[in-house]
Amino acid sequence: MVQTHFERLGLPRRFSVDPGELERAYLARSRAVHPDFHLAGSGAELASSLEAAAAANEAYATLKDPFARAEYLLALDGGPAGPAAKLPPAFLAEMLDVREAIDAARGRPADAARLKADLAGRLAALADGVAARFGGYEALPAGDPSADTFRTQIRALLDQARYVRRLADDLDAD
């Protein structure tokens, strides 16, 4: 049976994760499976240790990032996966303005810093929106028909976050 990232680190399967608890769980799991403690074992034990350490690292990286954690939870719950067909036109128009502002800010550190702060604020607001939607989603009783609506709303916010992150990466590339 394949373990989820949550099971691998001994955490409850939910969107809200205490960063300190996540860090402690990762460090404990990492110490338990680290290849350095299995060097005296057989080749199979060492290979198993390497595999478990890599899985713990992947689990930690996924669960540490709220957007990656949300993507992962959506995938575990059956979707919707991948980008939605369309982003809202108003959002796209806004992002076009941001793209133009990024192009205009090249070589102008003060403008770039302002844009970076704006994009960080947008990402924080999107993360808050994802957290709020997951709060409602996770409170639903099993089989509730409104679960699909929550998952679709989460997917839309994740798509917007992916777009904003790409713009932030482009800004950082300068």
Tell if the pTM clears 0.75, that is, is over it. Answer: yes
- The count of residues in the chain is 174
What the block records as the tokens of 20 is 């300190």
As a whole number of Å, the CA-based R_g of the chain is: 20
**Structure confidence at residue 73 (pLDDT):** 95
Q: Where are the domains of the chain?
A: 5-64, 89-172
What the block records as the tokens of 132 is 């709020």
Please give the CATH topology (third level) of the domain spanning 5-64. Helix Hairpins (1.10.287)
**Tens digit of each residue's pLDDT (9 = 90 or more) over 22-51:** 999 999 999 888 777 656 666 677 677 788
CA atoms within 13 A on the CB side of 63: 29
Phi, psi of 107 (to 5 degrees): 80, 5
CB 72 within 8 A of CB 63: yes
**Tens digit of each residue's pLDDT (9 = 90 or more) over 100-131:** 999 999 889 999 999 999 999 999 999 999 99
Burial of 50 (0-12, 13-18, 19+ CB in 10 A): middle
Provide mean pLDDT across the span 78-97.
82
